[in-house]
Amino acid sequence: MEWIIPGADEFIEPSSILMTLDRGEQQVLAQALIYGADWVIIDERQGRRLAEYLGLKVTGTLGILVKAKTAGLIPSFRAEAEKMRKQGIFYHLGLIDRLASHIGEI
């Protein structure tokens, strides 16, 4: 996909604000700031809050699925979200229902 640019690990200066996050979230935020990313994809609440505090636009995995559904890239948002839940990724069912309803997938 041309709109996703993978990057190598960046050295992160120890910072108390970033140390509260896991390594993956630290890397996402560090690279977003270094490379001037338009958006970051973070699901965890603490990481999302910090990203917003740093002035970054944030979406989550479910937000990407919504965009994929509305672009016609996947047949069902709800089915894809359920696959992720079955793989052990927790999403509140109420959130899935609200997003599905928002895009007309009832």
Within a 10 A sphere around the Cβ of 51, how many other Cβ atoms? 23
The answer to whether 68 touches 74, Cβ cutoff 8 Å, is yes
Per-residue model confidence as pLDDT tens for the chain (106 residues): 466 666 666 655 656 666 678 888 888 888 888 888 889 999 988 899 999 988 999 999 999 999 999 999 999 999 999 999 999 998 899 999 999 999 999 7
Encoded tokens for 103 = 């895009």
Which residue do the tokens 């917003």 mark?
Answer: 52
pLDDT of residue 101: 95
**Cβ atoms 26, 18 nearer than 8 A:** yes
Residues 83, 50 share a domain: no
Do 54 and 66 belong together in one domain? no
Which pLDDT belongs to residue 26? 85
Mark whether 11 and 46 lie in a shared domain. Answer: yes
Phi, psi for residue 39 in degrees, rounded to 5: -140, 155
Residues 33, 69 share a domain: no
What is the domain extent for residue 86? 61-102
Q: Return the pLDDT at 1.
A: 47
Name residues whose C-beta falls within 8 Å of residue 38's C-beta, 6 or more positions apart in sequence.
Answer: 57
State the total domains in the chain. 2
Residues 6+ apart with CB under 8 A from 34: 10
- 41 with 21, same domain: the answer is yes
